Amino acid sequence: MRTIEQLSEELGGLRGRTVLVRSDLNVPLDGSTITDDGRVRASVPTINRLREQGARVVVCAHLGRPKGSPDPQYSLAPVAARLRELVDGDGEGSVSFVEETVGERAATAVAGLGDGDVLVLENLRFHPGETAKSDEDRADFARQLADLADAFVSDGFGVVHRAQASVYDVARLLPHAAGGLVRSEVEVMRALREDPQRPYAVVLGGAKVSDKLGVIESLISVADRLLIGGGMVFTFLKAQGHEVGTSLLEEDQVDTVKGYLDTAAERGVEIVLPADVVVADDFSADAAHDVVPADSMPADRMGLDIGPEAQRHFAERLADARTIFWNGPMGAFEMEPFAAGTRAVAAALVERTRAGAMTVVGGGDSAAAVREFGHADDDFTHISTGGGASLEYLEGKDLPGLSVLED
């Protein structure tokens, strides 16, 4: 993949050039308040590199899942405001926002940029062409985006697994390069997939086994041990013949999970399941809850976290790992009574980072959790900005937003 420096050389420099940057600014919001600005902060280094070279930077991104038309609750205005604070921190930047993605107002705003200025376009998904299934509709929107710029930089790792207009089609129309964030993410994921230091431990959680079928199948041939928690663990417990009460369960995946357990045993890969779980009467923070053995769950209660014994055991099985990849919380961490398992895994990774191990938090809820618990980004080797993209990369899938850059 071409670097920004190579792109600059190809174009005879970037000063005065308009560069369209596809960032990932899909952050969680509480009203207009950003609750985790990790992705915004991660976008800044590439934007600043382009500014320093005199480029006129046009940032495009999506937020949430609007249905192809403007929806105020998904406006990028608060995200642009946070980006302005981060980029303008030195008092020298200039970040503006336009309430349009393509069209006359957007074109006028782009034309008014000076060297080193930054413009954030409104939510890409306010236009139906961004995610259109029709190649023609998607390409038409991509052409409108491409008409705004002289070059394209792909820096949104969280979307490279999608063949969308601003991710895939624009790269086919403009001289392009991979931004620093995408390049660093790929470097980390390649190390996890191809050359991990051992022991290599993978911690998987989250709600559904079906979301992680491919990565489980792939990692069974790479990892030394897999630690399973979150809602997906109940399908594993069911596959072992245990009662799981009213917990999340994907009955149609039980046989698949049985196959994974058998394959892991044949290959000598350790599957670590919780010895105990926290069960509750219902899914709420004030629900009555207790700790029970994982093989003795009441039929009328649901599991919402791994228990204290499981937390200790998981920490023990991570204590000698030289490489750790973690994707997915261990329980309903957003509710304090069920946050201890996720907090324990985060603490175990921090300890391994301090010991020199490679620790990677695989984006999504895991990244949100560690920040909610007060951990700094440098408490880990790497916090990915792309949960789904990181999983698909580790599966070995072809990611269209990366393959289009490889020329």
Residues marked active site are found at 39, 208, 364, 388
Residue 154's alpha-carbon distances to 108, 160, 339, 350, in angstroms, are 23, 9, 35, 30
Distance CA 237, CA 254 (A): 9
Asked if residue 366 belongs to a known ligand binding site, the reply is yes
Joined together, the tokens standing for residue 317 give 């099985």
Joined together, the tokens standing for residue 290 give 């207790």
E strands, 191-288, are: 200-204, 225-228, 270-272, 276-280
Neighbouring CB atoms inside 10 A of 174's CB total 19
Asked if residue 179 belongs to a known ligand binding site, the reply is no
Distance CA 361, CA 152 (A): 28
Asked if residue 56 belongs to a known ligand binding site, the reply is no
Asked if residue 85 belongs to a known ligand binding site, the reply is no
Asked if residue 82 belongs to a known ligand binding site, the reply is no
Asked if residue 26 belongs to a known ligand binding site, the reply is yes
Asked if residue 65 belongs to a known ligand binding site, the reply is yes
Q: What is the number of helices (H) and of strands (E) in the chain?
A: 14, 17
Burial class (CB in 10 A: 0-12, 13-18, 19+), 221: exposed
Asked if residue 114 belongs to a known ligand binding site, the reply is no
Asked if residue 397 belongs to a known ligand binding site, the reply is no
Distance CA 318, CA 351 (A): 9
Asked if residue 63 belongs to a known ligand binding site, the reply is yes
Asked if residue 162 belongs to a known ligand binding site, the reply is yes
> Sheet harboring 382-383: ordered strands across?
270-272, 225-228, 200-204, 323-327, 358-361, 382-383
Distance CA 39, CA 270 (A): 33
Asked if residue 327 belongs to a known ligand binding site, the reply is no
Asked if residue 212 belongs to a known ligand binding site, the reply is yes
Asked if residue 386 belongs to a known ligand binding site, the reply is no
Asked if residue 39 belongs to a known ligand binding site, the reply is yes
Specify the pairing of strand 18-22 against strand 323-327: unpaired
Q: Which residues are annotated as a binding site for (2R)-3-phosphoglycerate?
A: 39, 125, 162
Q: Which residues are annotated as a binding site for substrate?
A: 24-26, 39, 62-65, 125, 162
Q: Which residues are annotated as a binding site for ATP?
A: 212, 303, 334, 363-366
Q: Which residues are annotated as a binding site?
A: 24-26, 39, 62-65, 125, 162, 212, 303, 334, 363-366
